[in-house]
A and B are shown apart, each in its own frame.
Chain A
């Protein structure tokens, strides 16, 4: 079955620490990959996306993600987190083989301590 796996459900970091959130998917073929962020009490906002080309994509607020096709992974990174990055982060995948469905991972709750 198609699935998106996020390795950590809760992550706690201190300000200025580096962040890496793991994401793996089980789809074959062509995929579009996304990271969305949900700040407390708010709706989902797009952080970054990968469709084709350079596998290292840069998004808003200093976030970046790397698509490694051989590992079916799309990990999110940020060199130095801020307190304002406290939020829930969702990896999501659209597989061209399975139509237009955007399937989300379970989410990772990030808490940044000031």
Chain B
């Protein structure tokens, strides 16, 4: 299994531009998570999906952020318009939430720099 795949690995953009981050979870996993990592705030959970349905988006910072999961093998996190304070590493993770315990596997991350 290739693991959780994220793209792009690095993105540099100018303030005001739209940014789309992509994630392909591990096949067979039914939960998907988006985290943001910064020096100041550490690892923050932005949103998570279960069976493609958003369950908790309380961590999404504001309306500029949106996430979708159109099917079990793909999710996007979109920032429109982007701002310099959005600069961070964005991690996607997936897991199988079943009767047993829930272990997240993380992707390599997308490092976003907004100038």
Contact = CB atoms under 8 A, between A and B. Distances in A.
Chain A interface residue bracket vs B: 20 to 34
A94 interface: yes
Secondary structure of the A contact surface, majority rule: strand
Interface of A: 32, 34, 36, 42-46, 49, 51, 90, 94, 99-107
Kindly name the residue among A46, A102, A107 whose own CB sees the greatest number of chain B CB atoms within 10 A.
A102
Secondary structure of the B contact surface, majority rule: strand
Kindly name the residue among A42, A49, A99, A100 whose own CB sees the greatest number of chain B CB atoms within 10 A.
A100
A44 B97 contact: no
Contacts of B33: 102
Interface in B18-66: 31, 33, 35, 42-43, 45, 48, 50, 55-56
10 contacts: A43-B91, A43-B109, A45-B106, A49-B103, A100-B31, A100-B56, A100-B102, A101-B45, A102-B33, A102-B93
A99 B55 CA distance: 9
Contacts of A43: 91, 106-109
B2 interface: no
Contacts of A45: 106
B91 A32 contact: no
Nearest to B97: A100
Nearest to A46: B103
B101 A101 contact: no
Contacts of B102: 32, 94, 100, 102
